[in-house]
Amino acid sequence: MREQLDGVAVVTGAASGIGRATALLLAERGFHVVAVDINAQSLEALSAEAGERALTTLACDVAAPDTPARIAEAVDGLGKPWRVLINNAGIAASPALQETSDDDIDRFIGINVASVFRLCRTALPIMAEQGGGSVVNLASVFGLTGVSGTSIYALTKGAVAALTVQLACEWGRRGVRVNAVAPGLIDTPLTAARIRDGAWTQRRILEETPLGRAGTPQDVAETIAFLASPRSAFITGEVLKVDGGWLSG
């Protein structure tokens, strides 16, 4: 498998938290990063922070059907092979089962699952054609075990894990590896308020985490960067927990 650190890495949800740390790290490691997010203002801040590093921003909604074509066009315009895709954009504030509306179901599946499916459908043939590469999807420990009150979120993250394993089997012989990370509790803007307020689920996870703390965006970004790089050349179809041991505790 020919994976080079000088190609293009697309990171969705790159303007905050795990995606932001990942975009900056991959740019530092030599990729030209295409940073995709719905939040144009935060993308500008990311661009400023990236400084001299090669980073192009693209403001769009990953759930929009024309987004994969827009991303492919942006990658094509850079004149380098598409080596890495990080499907990170996601929403998490899951309502209780009986309070989940039809709109909530469509929104969660649209952003957390359908967008990943569509972007893989566009990207994988291009990556294979251009010599192979690596996809990393953001699953969650909440898709691997039961946590009360997270039903629609857990459904989407379980689906991402299933898609990861399936695509790894389908695309391995064409030179594309497909893995996922399943973070535990990570301190990002997504979870910060609930960690600070000592919400029940977050408090319980912190108490039960063998490493005794919440993860940082950097903890997850380092794992993603490993899976994106040739250092993990014989790993595909893996759903790697980055949870401080929570699920094993």
179 close to 227: Cβ distance less than 8 angstroms: yes
- Nearest distance from residue 13's CB to ligand NAD, in Å? 3
In the region spanning residues 82 to 101, those forming contacts with ligand NAD, defined by CB under 6 A, are: 88-92
Q: Which is nearer to ligand NAD, 19 or 175 (CB)?
A: 19
In the region spanning residues 116 to 175, those forming contacts with ligand NAD, defined by CB under 6 A, are: 138, 140
- Nearest distance from residue 63's CB to ligand NAD, in Å? 5
Window of 68-76, 118-126, 169-177, 183-191 that interacts with ligand NAD by CB under 6 A: 183-191
Query: How far, in Å, are 127, 199, 207 from residue 57 at the CA level?
Result: 20, 34, 38
Q: Report if residue 188 touches ligand NAD, rule: CB under 6 A.
A: yes
Window of 68-76, 97-105, 167-175, 189-197 that interacts with ligand NAD by CB under 6 A: 189-197
Spatial distance between the Cα atoms of 248 and 56, rounded to a whole number of angstroms: 39
- Nearest distance from residue 91's CB to ligand NAD, in Å? 6
Q: Are strands 176-183 and 239-242 parallel, antiparallel or unpaired?
A: parallel
Q: What is the CA radius of gyration of the chain?
A: 17
Q: Report if residue 19 touches ligand NAD, rule: CB under 6 A.
A: yes
205 close to 181: Cβ distance less than 8 angstroms: no
Catalytic residue positions?
A: 153
**What residues make contact with ligand NAD under the rule CB under 6 A?**
13, 15-19, 37-39, 42, 61-63, 88-92, 111, 138, 140, 183, 185-186, 188-191
